[in-house]
Structure 1
Amino acid sequence: MSRIDVFVAPRPNPALIKIMTFVNRIVMLHGIPGLRDILPFNRVAGLRGVANVRHIDFPDADLERLRARCGAGKATFITPNHPEFFTDWMLDKEIVSQVSPLAASWATNGVVNGLGRLMQKFWLANNLIAQIPGNSEAAKEHSVAWALKGHGVLLHPEGGVGWHANIVAPLLPGAVEMGLEALKRGRTAGSDFQVWIAPVVWKLAFTRNVEAALAKECTYVEKSLKIERRAADTLPQRIHHIYSTLLARDEAAWGMPSDERETYAERQQILVAKLGRRLGEDISVDAVVTDTTELLRLARRWQRENTGDAERQKKVRALADMIQRLQRVGPWASANPRITQEEIAEHLKRIRNDYCRSGLRDTMNRFIPQPAGPRCAHIRVPDPLGLHEHAGSVDDAVAELHRRMQDTVTGTVAELAANGGFIFYPNPFYRP
C-alpha cells in the first residue's frame, strides 16, 4: 500500500495548534485591517484573507449551546455542514478553537497523507484524522478513543462538497455510529455518561454587490470550456447556458438527441437513467437498480472487489464519475423562482471544479477556491442530539440530525433574505 492509504494516528501539538488558530484567523479568514481593502494589497490573498471572510456572525447563545456539549465527562462529535471547500476547514478550526481546542478533525487522505512526509507530520500535529476510502476502521477507532477523553471529534456528515449552501445533502451515518460505540464504552465507567452529536451550520453571504467579479469569472469559464457567450444573456442565463451546453456534449457522447424543449432537469434525468442502466450492466447487477445512490454504492464495492480487470475498472469508474458529476446539479437548482449572487458563485465554483482542467490556475481553484468578494459567515448551532437519550435506530438518528440541520439552514437563509442580505435575479433553471 502507498503512504496515502495507510492510517497514521494524529500526534496533536497544542502549541502548534494555538499558533495556527491565530494564523487561520488573520491570514485565512479576516485578512489584515488597513491593508485588505487597499490596492495592491487586496490582491494578495494572505493580506486580504484567503477565504475573504471579513465578519463572523456567531451569536453567544449558539456558541454556548455548543460549548455546553463539549468537555470532560462526555463524548462529542461535531458535525458541520459542508457547503464550500477550503473555507470549511478555516471556519471549522475557528469554531473548535472556541469550544474544544484539541478537537480532532477528519480530512481526506489526499490532504493528510498525500503531500509528502513533512506535510503529513504537520497535519498530524494539527490533529487531522486521515479518512482512508474503503478502510476507515482505524480512523473510527482513534476517533472514538479521542472523544472518550473529552475532546471533540469533527467530521462532515455530508461527505464531499456539493456547493449548495442552502441545502443539506443526505448525511452519512459515521458520526452516529461512532457516537453509539463511544456510548457503549463510556457506560462501562458510569451510567450517566453522555454522548452528543453537535451539528453546526453556516451560511456565507457577500457583504456587497459582486456582480462584476462574478461576470469576470463566468467569462473565464466560458473561454476555458470553449462555450460561446450569447450577448443578450443575463449572468444567471449565462450559467444556465454553460450547463446546458455541457449537458448537450454529454448527450452527444452517448448518442442521445438534445431536446431544447425539455428543461435542463428533464434532460439530465433521462441521461442519468441511461448511464445508470449501462453501469448496472457493467457491474453485473441482477436487478434494475433505479436508486442511483445505491447503484453508485454497488459500483464502489465492485471496484474494490475486482481490481484485476484494469480495462473494466476504468470503464466503471468513468461511468460512475459521470453520473455523480451530472447529479451535482440537484432538484434544488430549479426549486425557487429567484437565484442569489451566492448561488451563482456556487454554480461557478462547481463548474470549475468539475470541468475546468486547463492548468495550474484551475488546480489551485480546486484546492483554494477564491471568492468573488468579501463575505460574512453566519454560524448557527441546532439543538445537539443526545445519543444517550435516543431510543431509535441509527437511521432515525441520522434523519433527525438532517432535519435539525436543514431547518436551521432554511431559517438562517430566510432571516438574511428578510433583512435584505441577498441580491436576487430570476432563476433560469426554475420551472413552475
Structure 2
Amino acid sequence: MSRIDTFVAPRPNPALIRAMTSVNRIVMLRGVPGFRDLLPFNRLAGLRGVSNVRHIDLPHADLERLKASCGAEKATFITPNHPEFFTDWMIDKEIVSQVSPLTASWATNGVVNGLGRLMQKFWLANNLIAQIPGNSGAAKEHSVAWALKGHGVLLHPEGGVGWHSNVVAPLLPGAVEMGLEALKRGRATDPDFKVWIAPVVWKLAFTGNVEAALAKECAYVEKNLKIERQATDTLPQRIHHVYSTLLARDEAASGMPSDEGATYAERRQALVAELGRRLGESISFDAAITDTAELLRHARRWQRENTDDPERQRQVRALADTIQRLQRVGPWAAANPRITQEETAEHLKRVRNDYCRGGLRDTINRFIPQPAGPRCAHIRVPDPLGLHEYPGSIDDAVAELHRRMQETVTSTVTELAAKGSFIFYPNPFYRH
C-alpha cells in the first residue's frame, strides 16, 4: 500500500501542541495587532490572520458545558459542524485547547499522509488521525483506545465541507459507533463509565461590508470559467448566473436538454436523477432504491472492488463525481427569499473549489481559502448526548445529534440576524 493509504498511529508531542496553539491563535486566526489592519501588511495572510477570524464569541456557559463532558474516567467524542475548509481545524484547535488539549483530531489522509514524510511526522505529532477511505478500521480502533484514556477525539460527522453554514448536512454514524464501542469496553471494568458525544457548532459572520472584495472574487471566477458577466446583475445574481451556466454545461455534456422555463433547483434535480439512473445501470444497482447517498456509497464500493476494467472505472467515477458535485447546491439554497453576504461568499468558495482547477492560485485556494474580510466566530455548544443513558439505536442517536446541532445553528443565526450582524440581498435562487 502507498504511504497515503497506510494508517500510522499519531505520536502526540505535548510541547509542540502547546506551541502550535499559540501559533494558531495569532497567525492562523486573529492576526498580529498593529499589522493586521495596516497596509501593506494586511495583505500578508500570516500577519492579517490566515483565516481572518478576529473575534471568538464563545459564551462561558457553553464552554463550561463542553468542559463538563471531557476529562478522565469518561470517553468523549467531540463533533463540530463543518462549514468551511482549513478554518475548521483552526477553530476546532482553539476550542479543544480550552477543554482537552491532547484531543486527537480526524483529518483526510491526503493531508496527514499525502504531503511527504516530514509533514506526516509533523501532523502525527499534532495528534491528527488519518482517515483512510474504505479502510478506517485502524483509525477507529486507535480513536476508541485514545478516548478511553480520558482524552477527546474530534471528528466532523458531516464528512466533507459543503460550504453551507446555516444547514447541517446528514451525519455519518462514526462518532456514535465508536462511542458505543468505548462504552462497552469502559463498562467492562467500571459499571458507571460514561461516554459523551459532544456537539459543537460555529457560525462565521463578517464584521463589516465586504461586497467589494466578494465582487472582485466573483470577477475572477467569471474570467476563469469563461462566463460573461451580465452588466446589470447584482452580486448574488452574478453568482446565480455562474451556477446556471455551469449547470447548462453539465446538461450539454450529458446530452440532456436544458429547460429554460424551469428553476435552477428543478433543472439540477432532473439532471441528478438522470445521471443517477445511468450510474445505477453501470454498477447493477437496484433501481428501486432512490437514495442518492446510498447509490454513491455503492459506487465507491464498486470502484474499490472492480479494478480490472479501466474504461468502465472511468465512466463510473465520472458519473459519481458529477452527481456529488451537483448535489453540493442543495434545496437549502432556494429556501429563503434573502441571502446574506456570508452565504454569497460560501457560494463563491464552493464554485471555486468544484470548478476552478489547473492553476497554482486555485490549488492554494482549495487548501487555504482566503476570506473576503475580517470575521467573528460565534461558537455554541448544544447539550451533549450521553450514550451511557441513551436507549435508542445508532440511527436514533445520529438523528438526535443532528437535531441538536441544527437547532443550535438555526437559533444562533436567528440571534445574529436580530442583532443586525448580517447584510442581506434578494436571493436569486429562491425563484429561479
> Same fold judged by TM-score > 0.5?
yes
Structure-2 residue corresponding to 1:119: 119
- Contact 1:202 1:379 (C-alpha < 8 Å) held by counterparts: yes
**Inter-partner Cα distance in structure 1 for 2:99 and 2:115:** 29
Structure 1 Cα separation of the partners of residues 281 and 387 of structure 2: 41
Amino acid at match of 2:73: G
| CA deviation map 1:162-207 (0-9, x unaligned) | 0000000000000000000000000011111000000000000000
Tell me, what secondary structure is at the counterpart of 2:69?
Answer: coil
Give secondary structure in 2 for the equivalent of 1:357: coil
Q: Which residue of 2 aligns with 1:219?
A: 219
Taking the aligned partners of 2:59 and 2:346, their CA distance within structure 1 comes to 25
Give the paired residue count. Answer: 432
Name the residue aligned to 1:389: 389
Three-state SS of the structure 2 residue aligned to 1:372 is: coil
Partner of 2:132: 132
Q: Report the counterpart of residue 365 of structure 1 in structure 2.
A: 365
Larger CA deviation: 301-310 vs 267-276: 301-310
Using the TM superposition, give the Cα deviation of residue 358 of structure 1 relative to its aligned residue in structure 2, in angstroms: 3.4
SS of the residue aligned with 2:107? strand
- 1:265 matched to 2:265? The reply is yes
Q: CA deviation at 1:81?
A: 0.1
Residue 168 (structure 1) aligns with: 168
* Structure 2: distance between partners of 1:25 and 1:175: 27
Q: Which residue of 1 aligns with 2:400?
A: 400
- Counterpart code for 1:102: L
The Cα of 1:388 is off from its aligned counterpart by 0.1
Matched, 1:6 2:6: yes
Residue equivalent to 2:317 = 317
Instruction: Give the gaps of 5 or more residues in structure 2.
Output: none
TM-superposed deviation, 1:286:
4.0
- CA displacement at 1:256 relative to structure 2: 1.5
Structure 1 runs (4+) greater than 2 angstroms displaced: 286-289
2-structure distance, mates of 1:260, 1:232: 20
Q: Which residue of 1 aligns with 2:82?
A: 82
Letter in 1 for 2:225: L
1:291 is matched with 291
Please tell me whether the aligned partners of residues 280 and 289 of structure 1 are also in contact (alpha carbons under 8 angstroms): no
Q: Which amino acid aligns with 1:320?
A: A
Does 2:62 align with 1:62? yes
User: Taking structure 1 as the reference length, what is the TM-score of the superposition?
Assistant: 0.99
Cα contact 2:27–2:46 (8 A) shared by 1: yes
Q: TM-score, normalised by structure 2?
A: 0.99
Q: Answer whether contact 1:162 1:328 (CA < 8 A) is retained.
A: yes
User: How far apart are the structure 1 equivalents of 2:130 and 2:98?
Assistant: 23
Equivalent pair of 1:218/1:239 in contact (CA under 8 Å) = yes
SS at the partner of 1:388? helix
1:409-424 alignment, distance < 5 Å: 409-424=409-424
Alignment of 1:49 with 2:49, yes or no, is yes
Residues of 1 paired with 2:294 and 2:182: CA distance?
28
1:431 positional shift: 2.8
2:232 maps to what in 1? 232
Q: Is the 8 A contact 1:83 1:163 kept in 2?
A: yes
**Corresponding residue number in structure 2 for 1:247:** 247
> Over residues 126-168 of structure 1, what are the superposed CA-to-partner deviations in whole Å (9 max), with x where a residue is unaligned?
0000000000000000000000000000000000000000000
Residue 379 of structure 1: SS of its match in structure 2?
strand
Task: Note closer, same or farther for the CA distance 1:262–1:287 as it changes in structure 2 (3 Å cut).
Answer: closer
For residue 297 of structure 1, report the CA deviation from its aligned partner: 1.0
| Alignment-derived partner of residue 95 in structure 1 | 95
What's the offset of the Cα at 1:307?
1.4
Hey, what's the Cα distance between the residues in 2 that align with 1:68 and 1:86? Answer: 27
1:290-311 deviation per Cα after TM superposition (whole angstroms, max 9, x unaligned):
2111111110111111011111
Deviation digits for residues 360-414 of structure 1 (CA, Å, limit 9, x no counterpart): 0000000000000000000000000000000110000000000000000000000
Residue type of the partner of 2:320?
A
